[in-house]
Chain A
Amino acid sequence: MYQFNFKYELKSLLRNGWIQLMTLLLLGLFLFAFYNGNEKVDKRKNDIQAAFNEVKESDQNMLLLLDSVQRGVEVSASRWTIPTKPMAVGNYHPRVAAMNPGPLAFVATGQSDLFSHYIKPKASGDDMALNFTEISNPVQQLFGSFDLAFVIIYLLPLIIIAFTYNVLSSEKESGTLRLLASQPISMRSWVLQKMGIRLFWVVLMIGVVLILVSVIIPSGVNIGELLPVSGVTLGYIFFWFALAFAVNLWVGSSSKNAIALIGLWLVFVLLIPSVLNQMGNALYPMPSRTLMINEMRSAKAEATKKQDQILDNFLRDHPEYAINDPNQNRSFYHRYMASQQLVREELQPVVGRFERQLQNQQQWISQLKWVSPAIIVQQELNALAGSSTKDYENYRKQVTAFAESWRQHLLPFLYNNKPFSTDDYENLPEFQYQRLTSDTTLISIIALVLIALIGVILGFLKGIGSQSTEKFITQ
């Protein structure tokens, strides 16, 4: 019976063009999504490369200038930009702190359209002034990107729904169910088989399409690296099939099934995420950025008023700099850097509040994401692509730490009144981005499969509740 069923299904699916249509549709969608994802990643790589090249060029100039000054040659540059001054190096020759894309970055745009992927922190700039957001047309951010994550999370379920909503009902509506009822097979295992065959086809087609697309658009990823993405996608597909199975057994006519499934899609993909997000915001509200500006302003105003006193305190706390403090030689930067240090320390709790609330919200989502498979998949794909909220938070932290080490590297020159020289160039700190790895992939896949199993069991319960096929027919 099983073999027969399989053959029959395959024939009918091929004859009414479903398989051909699906393959083309999937191929088109995946191709477009891959292309878009790759284009974004390429642009990101090129931008970063261009920034490095620019720094390299300006470094050559800096070394030439340094060399000239050391040999006592007159230089034409403005006095305050000559790199023997450590603050000139710190401000006019910053290093690139880049967040290079990971191998799977093309999978999900995530938060990457909001943030910059390279920053050049200056020695005198305060961390508050480090702007991590990217300039772009906000309409693009509002509409979102047509990436692989969009195809998987939003479109794949709809394709599955279109493929499965009438598995049982169409037989009922065309009257063939009565014939089937005469066969020695139970209704639920028969529906399960039909579903299994479709699941098999969808998975097979996605597999083929994935391989085809990675041949057509080489993204430099090997199939092995795509495995976690495939795993999560499979789990998600399994979930929607299970749901369709349950709905087919519980609900009735084709249209009713379709409406029920679309309703569920709406709930899982659009409503639950936005409600959870809204609740997260209500439970852990972000403090106001506009009011933060007020606090920042008054802290800075206070610091500016007391700059001399601050410098004295600073030197008291840092005797290593005070040794050769020639009081007469105190420049603007001596006072400025010391007061900036204080402002940073004072504002730390204010800035920390934002990060903490963001972490709280993230925590809240990780606890409740199990409510909707769409959220599980979104969070997981973003994490794999390295474009999640956490990744950008991690990057911000690393850049802030790097900005601090950049300053700390140059401060001894400033306070010891030691000129910066060509020999010191070698020792300038470089930024190296440490990527996060996702350790929840396996748990997510298991969770998706478990949720799917609930759907299958629900379907079976209906089957047990109405042992005879008669009920299905007469319903």
Chain B
Amino acid sequence: MIQSTLIKELRELLRDGRVRISFLIVLLLIAVATWISKTQYTITNQQYQQADNEERAVWENQGEKNPHSAAHYGTYAFKPKYPLSLVDQGVDKFTGTSIFLEAHKRNEAQFSKAADQTGLARFGDLTPDFVLLFIIPLLIVFLGYNAFTKEREMGTLVLLKSQGTPIWKLIFGKWLALFLPVFTIVFLLFIVAGIVLTNLENYGVFNWDSLGMLFLVYMGYYIIFINMVLFISLKLKKSGIALVVALATWILACLAVPKAASNIAESKHPYPTRQEFASNILQDQKEGLDGHDPWNKQAKLLEKKVLQEYKVDSLEQLPFNFDAYRMQKGEEHTAEIYLKHYKHLKTQFEEQSKLYRGLAVLSPFLPARFMSMAIANTDYATHWHFADAAENYRVELQAFLNGNFAENSAYGEWSYRANADTWKNMPQFGYDPPELGETLATNTSNLVILSVWVLGTFLLLFFTTKKL
């Protein structure tokens, strides 16, 4: 019976002109979106390579210079684009791509793509994740809204009842008839994406595991929609009403709840404004971390301590340049202040994430969206990971420069110039995004929520209906 229901449903779908057109449109959209994404990916990566190389050349060819001038001159950390951004662009467009690394200051990533776009871009971009997250669930609604209501309306329900087959078999047949076409389209898309990615030059950290995991997440997401749409069709009497209710569910899950969640998250756990953030840091710098021991006081203590340690009575007698040494200690102090304030931002971010997870009860879109971005390394957590790596590099860079200054010059010798080869000795900044295992470990709650949704809707579909 399952098989014959499946065959009948598939045949019906194939005969329906609307279904053929919707399928064609979805395929076309996917093709165009993938092509656009691929072109963008290639261009962005080329620019990234070029910028990275040129910046390194600028850094290495500074010539003779005081190391502290070099520290102010600074360098840039560029964020690479990850292969799976081909499937999900995530928040990439809203985060900056380059961080200026200089002395005394931790900078934010600059130049987000969204800031260089017009308001029209806020409608959304034609990318594969747009099709995967919004359009395919809509396709499921269109394919499945009348799965049961049409039997009722055409009177074939009576015939079906007379067959005496268990209801679950009937439901499962219809379920398969919806699942198989969706599975096929998405499977094809992922295979094509995989092939495109492996054929790109220096495709970096792409691996099939992540792509496979991403596929599973989307399948889970679609199963939830299939279950919900079939459930609605099972419970309602008229096709028209079933369609409206199924659409309302789609709007709620994909549009309304995420937007409402964004407002609630923003107002419950707000970030400081950029200027506030900067002035809080300035405050701590002036008055010392958390209001005790401002840096100039600490510096005096440091002076005493170092003199005692080396058993000398003036800074000139020290075997290294105390100016540079103090500067390094100051740098470490500032880094701590920054760490504190960024920790605060991170707490706000985690609170907001918790809120999103809480609201995922209302919408399966949220956990699917977050999982998808996380696996594609285009989520906000990956951006933090990158920003933290850049900050670590900045701290290392300052230590390297101040160390060079301290070792090779005497106290007060600000005219010291490090030789032109010095800069090459600092290794280049490199960044590796988190591995799949790590990402899954930090996102277990989203995975659990998604699984609960899948199981819950299955239970709802198969165990709440005793008779048709």
Contacts and interface: CB of A to CB of B under 8 A. Distances in A.
B356 interface: yes
B157 interface: no
A119 B274 CA distance: 9
Interface string A131-169: 111111111111111100010001100100010011001
A255 interface: yes
A255 B275 contact: no
A234 interface: no
Interface string B97-131: 11000000000101111111111111111100010
Interface string A29-70: 000100010010001000100110010000000000000000
Contact of B55 (A138, A293, A361): A293
Interface stretch (B175-183, B197-205, B256-264, B397-405): B256-264
A288 interface: yes
A1 interface: no
Contacts of B258: 143-144
Majority-rule SS of A interface residues: helix
A294 interface: yes
A270 B239 contact: no
A142 B94 contact: yes
B125 A144 contact: no
Contact of B126 (A136, A275, A382): A275
Contact of B120 (A39, A277, A297): A277
A137 B98 contact: no
Contacts of A303: none
B34 interface: no
Interface string B230-268: 000000001110011001100100011011111101110
Interface residues of A, number: 84
Given A291-B47, A294-B55, A166 B240 contact: yes
Given A137-B265, A139-B262, A145-B262, A375 B120 contact: yes
Contacts of B247: 158, 162, 258, 262
B271 A137 contact: yes
A140 B58 contact: no
B276 interface: yes
A101 B135 CA distance: 36
A402 interface: no
Interface string A404-441: 00000000000000000000000000000000000000
B102 to A, nearest CB: 11
Contact of B116 (A39, A135, A358): A358
A274 B89 CA distance: 15
Contact of A116 (B58, B96, B275): B275
Interface in A243-265: 253-256, 258-259, 262
Contact of A293 (B76, B123, B134): B76
Interface stretch (A7-15, A107-115, A448-456): A107-115
Contacts of B18: 256, 259
B148 to A, nearest CB: 13
A392 to B, nearest CB: 9
Given A36-B263, A293-B98, A133 B119 contact: no
B94 A138 contact: yes
A140 B261 CA distance: 8
A362 B146 CA distance: 43
A471 interface: no
Majority-rule SS of B interface residues: helix
A293 B51 contact: yes
Interface string B24-64: 00000000000010000000000110110011001000100
A43 B96 CA distance: 24
Contacts of B50: 290-291, 294
Contact of A297 (B58, B134, B142, B251): B58
Contacts of B184: none
A374 B73 CA distance: 48
Contacts of A155: 251, 255-256
Nearest to B75: A297
Given A145-B263, A146-B259, A165-B240, A277 B121 contact: yes
B380 A139 contact: yes
Contacts of A36: 263, 267
A278 B91 contact: no
Nearest to A111: B119
B337 to A, nearest CB: 17
Given A36-B263, A146-B263, A378 B94 contact: no
Given A135-B345, A139-B356, A142-B90, 15 more contacts: A39-B263, A114-B115, A134-B273, A135-B274, A135-B277, A138-B383, A158-B247, A254-B238, A255-B239, A256-B18, A259-B243, A293-B98, A294-B58, A389-B117, A389-B118
30 contacts: A51-B276, A111-B122, A116-B275, A120-B275, A131-B108, A131-B274, A133-B110, A135-B108, A135-B271, A135-B272, A136-B266, A137-B352, A138-B91, A138-B380, A138-B383, A141-B94, A142-B90, A146-B260, A146-B263, A155-B256, A254-B238, A254-B239, A255-B145, A258-B244, A274-B125, A280-B120, A293-B98, A294-B55, A301-B73, A374-B123
The 6 closest A-B pairs by CB, nearest first: A254-B240, A273-B123, A138-B94, A138-B91, A290-B51, A289-B111
Interface of A: 32, 36, 39, 43, 47, 50-51, 54, 110-111, 114-120, 131-146, 150, 154-155, 158, 162, 165-166, 169-170, 253-256, 258-259, 262, 266, 269-271, 273-278, 280-281, 286, 288-291, 293-294, 297-298, 301, 304, 354, 358, 361-362, 365, 374-375, 378-379, 382, 388-389
